[in-house]
């Protein structure tokens, strides 16, 4: 059960990093310029969420805890910083 929780929260953190963060903004714009379909994929949280979950599953499965916890902390910081 704890693995599922780790996968869900780290997958959500990874999804928000890729689809919403300023760090990936230039990459999203470049990918969108090169290919509209892939640009939409990495700009849409729902679309990228599938791949974020798959990547998180692999991170948990191969015990890469430092990355998993980093993604979870990123999600928590995103939520706490979100302006209502």
The per-residue pLDDT for range 1-10, each reduced to its tens digit, is 888 999 999 9
What's this model's pTM, rounded to 2 decimal places? 0.86
DSSP string, the chain: -HHHHHHHHHHHHHHHHHHH-STTHHHHHHHHHH-HHHHHHHH-HHHHHHHHHHHHHHHHHTT-HHHHHHHHHHHHHHHHH---
**Hey, where are the domains in the chain?**
2-81
The per-residue pLDDT for range 22-68, each reduced to its tens digit, is 999 999 999 999 999 999 999 999 999 999 999 999 999 898 889 99
């Amino acid at each position: 059960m704890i693995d599922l929780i780790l996968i869900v929260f780290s997958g959500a953190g990874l999804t928000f990093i890729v689809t919403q963060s300023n760090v990936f903004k230039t990459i999203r714009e470049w990918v969108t310029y090169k290919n509209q379909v892939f640009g939409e994929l990495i700009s849409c949280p729902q679309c990228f969420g599938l791949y974020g979950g798959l990547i998180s599953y692999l991170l948990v499965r191969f015990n890469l805890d430092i990355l998993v916890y980093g993604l979870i902390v990123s999600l928590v910081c995103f939520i706490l910083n979100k302006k209502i």
